[in-house]
Amino acid sequence: MKTKTRGAVQMILAMTISGTVGWPVIVLGQPPATVVFWRCAFGALAMLATCAALGQLKSGAINRRQLAFAVLGGLALVLNWTLLFAAYAHASIAVATVTYHVQPFMLVALGALLFGEKLTANRLGWLLLAFAGMVLIVTGRQSGGGDGDYLLGVALALGAALMYALAAAIVKQLAALPPQLIVLIQLTVGAVAMAPFAGLAHLPAEPLDWLLLATLGLVHTGVMSTLLYGAIQKIPTALVGALSFIYPAVAIVVDWAAFGHRLSLLQLLGTLAILGAAAGMNFGWRWAPAAHRAGKIG
Mean pLDDT, the chain, integer: 85
Task: Compute the distance between CA of residue 175 and CA of residue 73 in angstroms, rounded to an integer.
Answer: 13
The closest of 163, 258, 212 to 35, measured between CA atoms, is 212
If pLDDT is split at 50, 70 and 90, which confidence band does 105 have?
A: confident
Confidence of residue 142 (pLDDT cuts 50, 70, 90): low
List, for residues 243-298, the tens digit of each pLDDT value: 888 899 999 999 999 998 888 888 899 999 988 888 887 777 888 654 444 444 43
Residue of higher predicted confidence among 3 and 161: 161
Q: Which helix (H) or strand (E) holds 120?
A: none
pTM equals: 0.84
Query: What is the rounded CA–CA span in Å between residue 117 and residue 212?
Result: 41
The answer to whether the CB of 281 falls within 8 A of the CB of 120 is no
More confident residue, 158 or 143: 158
> Which carries the bigger pLDDT value, residue 183 or residue 119?
183
Condensed to tens digits (0 to 9), the pLDDT of residues 230-257 reads 787 788 766 777 788 889 999 999 999 9
Name the band, by pLDDT with cuts 50, 70 and 90, for residue 143: very low
Give CA–CA dist 258/157, Å, rounded.
20
Of 8-12, 98-102, 141-145, minimum mean pLDDT range: 141-145
Nearest one of 45, 108, 109, 41 to 81, comparing CA atoms = 41
